Amino acid sequence: MLRKVERRPPWALEKSMSPALTARAWLRERRKLITLLDADGASDRPPRPALKAIRALRKKRRPQRILRRPSLTMLSLGLADAAASRPPWSPDPEITETVISLRRLPGAFDGLRIVHLTDIHHSIFTPLEEVERAVYLANRLEPDLVALTGDYVTFSPAYIEPVARALGKLKARHGAFAVLGNHDFQVDADGITRALRSYHIRVLRNSRRPLRAGKQTLWIVGVDDLWWNSDDLPAALKAVPARDAKILLCHNPLGIWQASRHAIDLVLSGHTHGGQVRLPGFRHLYRSKLGERFVDGWNRLHATQIYVSRGIGKVIVPIRFDCPSEIACLNLRRGRSSAGLN
Ligand SMILES: [Fe+2]
């Protein structure tokens, strides 16, 4: 089907057309191709180079996002003033709130509020005060569960104990769950695991924990970092019933390719920092094998949804530009997927 479209590029063949008509023809053909891509469904593999640019043009179908501006939820939390008056140069993270609907979410977990923190990168670039401020703001959101998706420190093991102690102050009804990122493996994966566990944070290293409410179960699954080839999703899913709803914590959003093949309902990731530095004319400095598709915010692959947070800290350069740090508050609802595509 794709070959049929590519065989007849009207903007190349119809030389006599005016520029306006040529542009219209290009748009018409692009729409056709996008329709074909939708009909075929997304590939299990990363987009091929020829299709990557076209897919980047697709209008993102995002779920309802309700906290970019103050909302009733924020008012109830007493955070509206803080968000409304948050100047662009504020050192505080931006608090975003997104409603994500999951078809298989058990009724008992309808309305579950997850606060997602990632890429804290405690170091000289991200001092402890910034980490403690993020923990304070996260607690004010009164989460049911805290998800931590890796990169707690940069460069030195000296930062492990302070960051673990700060994160140990996170409060959530179901507790805090964590996975490790590439920087954690670079510094000391086992040391960070021990430190986080000593503050009662459940570190999932290719393992899972069930949340139970009566006979209903929601699984929290976590894998080690992909860059270090230490992830093992099949092992993490061992003994997890296929029909149960599953949320995967995976530092690198590339994990969505495997997650979609294992019927994961929702992936929470970081790693990209949302680009960290965004310059006019360039949406992100960050480029991955996925192009810009999974750099930040919500997206999906087949029935698997993903949220990629911009994270808290900074690496390589001690600044963020046009890309504030983020505390993502995710409200899970039972129902059709957020974009109505499941
Ligand atoms: Fe990171």
Do residue 194 and residue 115 come from a single domain?
A: yes
The model's pTM is 0.74
User: What's residue 17's pLDDT?
Assistant: 40
316 CA to middle of ligand 1, Å?
10
Do residue 135 and residue 241 come from a single domain?
A: yes
Do residue 255 and residue 172 come from a single domain?
A: yes
> In sequence order, what are the beta bridge partners of 184?
none
Do residue 182 and residue 275 come from a single domain?
A: yes
Residue-wise pLDDT tens digits, 131-153: 999 999 999 999 999 999 999 99
- At 338, the pLDDT band (50, 70, 90 cuts) reads low
165 CA to middle of ligand 1, Å?
19
Is residue 49 assigned to a domain? no
Is residue 272 assigned to a domain? yes
Q: Which of 249-258, 285-294, 319-328 has the highest mean pLDDT?
A: 249-258
Beta-carbon neighbour count of residue 57 at 10 Å?
A: 9
**CATH (domain of 204):** 3.60.21.10
The tokens for 260 are 């979609």
Is residue 51 assigned to a domain? no
The tokens for 131 are 């980490």
166 CA to middle of ligand 1, Å?
18
Strand order in the sheet with 326-334: 94-102, 326-334, 113-117, 145-149, 176-179, 202-203
107 CA to middle of ligand 1, Å?
34
Q: What angle is formed at CA 155 by the lines to CA 286 and CA 321, rounded to 5 degrees?
A: 35
Do residue 114 and residue 12 come from a single domain?
A: no
Return the SS3 of 47: coil
Mean pLDDT, residues 206-235 taken together: 96
Is residue 340 assigned to a domain? no
Q: What is the mean pLDDT of the chain?
A: 78
Beta-carbon neighbour count of residue 176 at 10 Å?
A: 24
DSSP track, 234-269: HHHTTT--TTSEEEEE-SSGGGHHHHHHTT-SEEEE
70 CA to middle of ligand 1, Å?
28
178 CA to middle of ligand 1, Å?
14
Q: Which residue range(s) make up the domain with 233?
A: 72-334
User: What's residue 71's pLDDT?
Assistant: 34
Which residues, other chains included, contact 29 with Cβ-Cβ below 8 Å and sequence gap of 6+? Answer: 5, 8, 9, 10, 11
Candidate from 37-41, 215-219, 253-257 with smallest mean pLDDT:
37-41
Do residue 211 and residue 128 come from a single domain?
A: yes
250 CA to middle of ligand 1, Å?
12
DSSP track, 99-152: EEEETT--GGGTT-EEEEE----BSSSS-HHHHHHHHHHHHHT--SEEEEES--
- At 261, the pLDDT band (50, 70, 90 cuts) reads very high
Which of 256, 243, 273, 268 shows the shortest CA–CA distance to 332? 268
**Unique residue bearing structure tokens 């049929």:** 4
When divided into structural domains, the chain yields a total of 2
Q: What residue type is 45 in one-letter code?
A: R
User: What's residue 134's pLDDT?
Assistant: 96
Which residues, other chains included, contact 297 with Cβ-Cβ below 8 Å and sequence gap of 6+? Answer: 60, 62, 98, 307, 308
| Whether 278 contacts 284, CB under 8 Å | yes
User: What's residue 38's pLDDT?
Assistant: 36
Mean pLDDT, residues 103-126 taken together: 96
Mean pLDDT, residues 276-301 taken together: 72
Cα–Cα distance, 237 to 223 (Å, whole number) = 10
Do residue 12 and residue 103 come from a single domain?
A: no
18 CA to middle of ligand 1, Å?
48
291 CA to middle of ligand 1, Å?
17
284 CA to middle of ligand 1, Å?
15
**Unique residue bearing structure tokens 């270090």:** 228
- At 7, the pLDDT band (50, 70, 90 cuts) reads very low
96 CA to middle of ligand 1, Å?
19
Q: Classify the C-alpha dihedral 263-265-269-272 as positive or negative.
A: positive
Do residue 286 and residue 197 come from a single domain?
A: yes
Whether the predicted pLDDT of 99 surpasses 50 = yes
Whether the predicted pLDDT of 321 surpasses 90 = no
Whether the predicted pLDDT of 268 surpasses 60 = yes
- At 285, the pLDDT band (50, 70, 90 cuts) reads low
Is residue 50 assigned to a domain? no
Backbone angles phi, psi at 134, to 5 degrees: -65, -40
Do residue 312 and residue 172 come from a single domain?
A: yes
User: What's residue 40's pLDDT?
Assistant: 34
Do residue 180 and residue 322 come from a single domain?
A: yes
Is residue 114 assigned to a domain? yes
Do residue 26 and residue 129 come from a single domain?
A: no
Cα–Cα distance, 254 to 45 (Å, whole number) = 10
Is residue 65 assigned to a domain? no
Whether the predicted pLDDT of 83 surpasses 60 = no
242 CA to middle of ligand 1, Å?
31
Is residue 83 assigned to a domain? yes
Strands 266-269 and 207-213, sheet pairing: unpaired
Do residue 234 and residue 325 come from a single domain?
A: yes
> Near ion ligand 1, which residues have CB within 5 Å?
119, 151
Cα–Cα distance, 94 to 322 (Å, whole number) = 12
Beta-carbon neighbour count of residue 54 at 10 Å?
A: 15
